[in-house]
Amino acid sequence: MKIDRLLSIVILLMNRPLIQAKELADMFEVSARTIYRDIDSINNAGIPVVTYQGANGGIGLMEGYRLDRNLLTERELADIFTALQSVSSYVGGEHTLLMEKISSVIPPAQSAAFRSKTTQLIVDFSPWGLNGPLEERLTLLKEALEEGVAVAFEYVNADGRMSKRSVEPYTLVLKGQAWYLYGLCAKHGEFRLFKLLRMKALVKEGRVYVRQDIPLKDFPWTKGWMRPADSLPVVLHFSAAGKHLAEDYFDSTELQPDGNGGYTVRVHYPEDNWLYGFLLGFGTSVEVLEPEHIRVRMGELAAGIAAKYR
C-alpha cells in the first residue's frame, strides 16, 4: 500500500546516495510515474528529495540534508515492525520489503534485542484454514483504493435482501474478526459499511472518483454497536459440560458459579438475529433463563432445527 512504499523509499534514501526511478518502480512493481508522485508526497512531508539528471543521475536526498536516523526510537521501530507483521498475516507478504528495510537500519549489535522486541507480541489476523474468495476481494478492493476507481457488486444485507451497488471505496476495516468496506454508495448517496462476506460478483468499474476528506470521528466503526437504549438484560446458564465455552466468551467477573460446575451469566444484548444466532452457537451447553420471550423463541428455533433431522 502507498504508506508502506513511501516509508520504504525514505529508508532507502537514508542508506543510499542515489537510486534510479526505474529500480524503485521495479522493486515496488509500480510505474515510474507512480514513483515520481511518491517523491512529490515525500517532498510535501518536508523531506527534500531531488532528482539528478544524466548518466550518473537518480533520486536522492538534497545535498547537505541528513535525515535523523534517530527520528524513531528502537522501541517505536519495533512497534511499527510488529504492526506490519500482524497485518501481513492476513494480506500476504506485501509488507515484507518494508519490514526488511526497517530491520536494516538497526545496528548489528542491537539486532538480537530488536528481534526479541518484535516477537514479544504477535497478532495473527489470518483465519484457521483457507479463505480464498475473501482474499481475492481484499486484493481487488486494495487495487481500487490505490487507483481511485469505483467498484460494483451484488450485496445481500442482514435481512437477506439482495441489491446491486456502485461504491466509491474509502477504507478497508477489520472489525470483530470480519472485513468491511467503507465507501460512498451511489444508490443511497451516503457513506455505508459493507461486509465483504456479503458481496458477490465484485468488479472494478473503472469510474474514477475524487476522494473526500472524511473526519475520523465520523467513521461508524468507532462507535459502539450496542447502545444501552437498544439492549436488554439476558440471563444465561452454562452447564458443567459447557463451562469452557462460557470462559471463552465472557470475562471472569461476569461468571457466577452455580454450585454444580456450571455458570450463570448476566449480560446486556440487543435483541436481533445476531443474538439468536450467537445463542444457538452454544448448542445444548446454554439455557436462556431470562427474559421469558427470548427463552420461548429459543425453544421454537431449536424445535425447528430438530424437525429438519427427523
**Each residue of 237-281: pLDDT tens digit?**
999 998 888 888 888 888 999 999 999 999 888 888 888 988 999
Is the pLDDT at 223 greater than 90? The verdict is: no
Residues 6+ apart with CB under 8 A from 264: 235, 236, 237, 238, 255, 256, 258, 289
Confidence of residue 185 (pLDDT cuts 50, 70, 90): very high
Query: Coil, helix or strand for 266?
Result: strand
Please tell me the distance from the alpha carbon of residue 224 to that of residue 231, in angstroms, as a whole number: 12
- What pTM was estimated for this model as a whole? 0.54
pLDDT of 58: 85
Categorise residue 206: left if φ over 0, alpha if ψ from -120 to 50, beta otherwise: left
What does the pLDDT read at residue 151? 96
CA 180 – CA 86 distance, rounded (Å): 18
